[in-house]
Every structure is written in structure tokens, then in C-alpha cells.
């Protein structure tokens, strides 16, 4: 059994936003972790109005057990963009609902 971080994507129709959630699961395989996360995603949506799971999940297997500072999800992407362009394209597009630092 290993720990996995699974990222799922949800659409909040009423709010007009998409949400990315990362949940962690102790499972025997990546497929099992995704299966369990997708079952939880459907349950999560059942408690909320106008929210749908868009059937997209990515998993990450990590070593050890969760503790302070443990990495629970990682995604690597090839890109020729500068760091500033990369962040603007994938993370800080100006359409996020985030607080200020």
C-alpha cells in the first residue's frame, strides 16, 4: 500500500468557475487511488448544487506517509516559455479566485 495524491477537476455551473481538488488516498495501485478518488468526487458533487465532476483525474504516488511538508502531488510539463510566461499561461491567468499575499 502506498499514498497517492489525486487531482480532480470540477465545474461549478452556478458560479461559472472550475475547481481543482487534490485528495490523498492509501491504495494498492494508482488505478485504485483514482477509482476511490472518483467515487469521492461524485459524492462531493452530491452535496453541492450545480457542481459536476468533469471526469478528469491525475494521480501521483509518493513515498512515505503524510506529514508536515510532504509532497502529495507533482506534475511536470515540458515548455519553452520563460518562467513569467509559464506562470501566466498555466497558473496566474487573471481568472483565478485567489487571495492576495
How far is Cα 83 from Cα 74, in angstroms, rounded to an integer? 17
Q: Over the stretch 1-58, which tens digit does the pLDDT of each residue have?
A: 999 999 999 999 998 889 999 999 999 999 999 999 999 999 999 999 999 999 999 9
The pLDDT score that the predictor gives to residue 99 is 66
Confidence of residue 75 (pLDDT cuts 50, 70, 90): confident
pLDDT of residue 32: 98
Hey, where are the domains in the chain? 2-63+72-90
Cell 520563460, located at residue: 82
8 class by beta-carbon count within 10 Å (0-12 exposed, 13-18 middle, 19+ buried): buried
Q: What is the pLDDT of residue 55?
A: 94
The confidence score (pLDDT) of residue 72 equals 82
pLDDT band at 67 (very low <50, low <70, confident <90, very high): confident
What is the predicted pLDDT for the residue at 86? Answer: 86
Amino acid at each position: 500500500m502506498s499514498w497517492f495524491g489525486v487531482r480532480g477537476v470540477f465545474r461549478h455551473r452556478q458560479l461559472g468557475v472550475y475547481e481543482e481538488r487534490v485528495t490523498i488516498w492509501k491504495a494498492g495501485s494508482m488505478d485504485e487511488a483514482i477509482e476511490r478518488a472518483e467515487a469521492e468526487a461524485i459524492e462531493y458533487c452530491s452535496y453541492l448544487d450545480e457542481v459536476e465532476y468533469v471526469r478528469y483525474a491525475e494521480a501521483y504516488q509518493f513515498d512515505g506517509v503524510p506529514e508536515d511538508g510532504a509532497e502529495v502531488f507533482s506534475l511536470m510539463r515540458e515548455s519553452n516559455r520563460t518562467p513569467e510566461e509559464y506562470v501566466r499561461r498555466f497558473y496566474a491567468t487573471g481568472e483565478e479566485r485567489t487571495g492576495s499575499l
